[in-house]
Amino acid sequence: MLANPALIYLDHNATTPIDPGVRDAMMPFLSDRYGNPSSQHALGRQAAKAVEQARQQLSQFLDCSSDELFFTSGGTESSNLAISGTIMATDSPASAHIITSAIEHPATLEPCRALRQMGCEITVIGCDSNGVMQPHEVASAIQPNTKLVSVMHANNETGSIQPINAISHICKQSGILLHVDAAQSVGKLPVSCQKIGIDLMTVAGHKFYAPKGIGCLVARKGITLSPLVHGGGQESGLSPGTENVAQIVALGAAAEIAAEKSGSDAMRICGLRDQFENLVEQETHGDIFIHAKSAERLMNTTSVSFPDVEAVELLNRIPFLCASTGAACHSHSTVISATLQAMGVTEPIARGTVRISMGRHTTEDEIQQAAYALAKTWKKIRTTRPAAYEAGDTTKP
């Protein structure tokens, strides 16, 4: 599956490889089926039919009507369209109030910040030490001018699953629209727009084995959105421009494959995650800390802190392992992730945090190699320097 078989890829929350079935579905539209869906001739009609077939595949997978689904360039555009599009369509955008959380992806937080510059009021609620927001805090934050609640379904760093059903119930009682960023959950968890009661939902294709650069926004019937870009009438004018047919076809195929495989994938991958965590704890004698371990999490995600080391250095010493860190270095300073900060994780703990996210093609052998390599390398680094803090202590300054 990997171009370089020597690599172990455990960064599926960042992006997934394209599934072979997805690649096969899209290839004809990169060669001889090149028509513009707006054209009335045979090639154009062929392309338009393919787009609508993909829309049907996605709508069945997400449990929404096909006319409630709009193709976009990905999760960032979808979330911006949901948030800014909702507020700009109100009678008084500058006086609107939005509720979001501190653990959101920048694709949610940044449009909120931009709207704040226009005069909108933004309330950012926190989370508990497991990275889970509390529904009662959403209810307490509601004001007479609240127009939108925008929260994620599952956190991309810790995997913590949020209480979306309870938040949806609160929003419905108050007559407020709910936008859910489901970029990390679609393809991993069952996501039903109807059962959950979602008004707007973000989907990113490259998180579930489709290419980068394609996604969709689900917008419940009756919701008015103001477009971010103006041009043609494609996607009901909400995402104008000639459709990226090959990518749209790929997204439809990815949805169909996920519908068939997600159940069996989840059981197998959850077992791998638990095996990885057990191995790392065993090899480090319990001296590591697993974030959000007691929360309901995505079955593929584990966020683990290795004491007394920098996660960047740890991963740099294991070049065959592709994973992410809980902190990033910018201009000789360390920036701790907003999620870990919101959870109350101290900087030393965050600096040693590695995120492992598994996927459909992850093997037991890869999990074992990764666990042993991380533990062995951590021990080697740790013996060369004094302890910076006590293992697992997320409260010490």
- Cα separation, 119 vs 94, whole angstroms: 5
Q: Is the CA virtual torsion 192, 258, 17, 53 positive or negative? A: negative
Q: Is residue 198 part of a domain?
A: yes
If asked whether residues 151 and 24 sit together in one domain, one would say: yes
Q: Is residue 100 part of a domain?
A: yes
65: domain CATH number is 3.40.640.10
Q: Name the residue range of residue 110's domain.
A: 20-258
Cβ neighbours for 155, distance < 8 A, ≥ 6 positions apart: 103, 131, 161, 162, 184, 292, 339
- Cα separation, 63 vs 190, whole angstroms: 10
Q: Is residue 397 part of a domain?
A: no
366: domain CATH number is 3.90.1150.10
Q: Is residue 2 part of a domain?
A: no
- Cα separation, 313 vs 374, whole angstroms: 11
If asked whether residues 335 and 357 sit together in one domain, one would say: yes
Choosing from 258, 286, 301, the residue where a domain stops is 258
If asked whether residues 199 and 286 sit together in one domain, one would say: no
Q: Is residue 50 part of a domain?
A: yes
Joined tokens for residue 41:
């001739």
Choosing from 226, 258, 290, the residue where a domain stops is 258
Q: How many domains does the chain have?
A: 2
Report helix, strand or coil for 98: strand
If asked whether residues 111 and 188 sit together in one domain, one would say: yes
If asked whether residues 239 and 265 sit together in one domain, one would say: no
pLDDT at 160: 98
Joined tokens for residue 61:
């997978």
Q: Is residue 281 part of a domain?
A: yes
- C-alpha triplet 167, 168, 173: angle, nearest 5°: 100
If asked whether residues 161 and 305 sit together in one domain, one would say: no
Q: Is residue 228 part of a domain?
A: yes
**CB 84 within 8 Å of CB 238:** no
Asked about 329 being catalytic, the answer comes back as: yes
- Cα separation, 350 vs 32, whole angstroms: 50
Q: Is residue 394 part of a domain?
A: no
Q: What is the DSSP string of 320-364?
A: TEE-EESEEEETTEEEE-HHHHHTT--HHHHHTEEEEE--TT--H
- Reference 209, options 158, 181, 251; nearest CA is 251
Question: Position 248: which residue type?
Answer: I
**CB 66 within 8 Å of CB 54:** no
If asked whether residues 250 and 274 sit together in one domain, one would say: no
- Cα separation, 129 vs 135, whole angstroms: 15
What pTM, to 2 d.p., does this model score?
0.93
The separation between the first and the last C-alpha atoms of the chain, rounded to the nearest angstrom, is 44
If asked whether residues 189 and 323 sit together in one domain, one would say: no
pLDDT at 263: 84
If asked whether residues 53 and 199 sit together in one domain, one would say: yes
Choosing from 235, 258, 281, the residue where a domain stops is 258
If asked whether residues 238 and 322 sit together in one domain, one would say: no
If asked whether residues 189 and 201 sit together in one domain, one would say: yes
Q: Show pLDDT as tens, one digit a residue, over the chain (397 residues).
A: 445 558 999 999 999 999 999 999 999 999 999 999 999 999 999 999 999 999 999 999 999 999 999 999 999 999 999 999 999 999 999 999 999 999 999 999 999 999 999 999 999 999 999 999 999 999 999 999 999 999 999 999 999 999 999 999 999 999 999 999 999 999 999 999 999 999 999 999 999 999 999 999 999 999 999 999 999 899 999 999 999 999 999 999 999 999 998 888 899 999 999 999 999 999 999 999 999 999 999 999 999 999 999 999 999 999 999 999 986 544 445 688 999 999 999 999 999 999 999 999 999 999 999 999 999 999 999 988 765 444 444 433 3
Report helix, strand or coil for 261: helix
If asked whether residues 230 and 206 sit together in one domain, one would say: yes
Maximum Cα–Cα distance for the chain, whole Å?
72
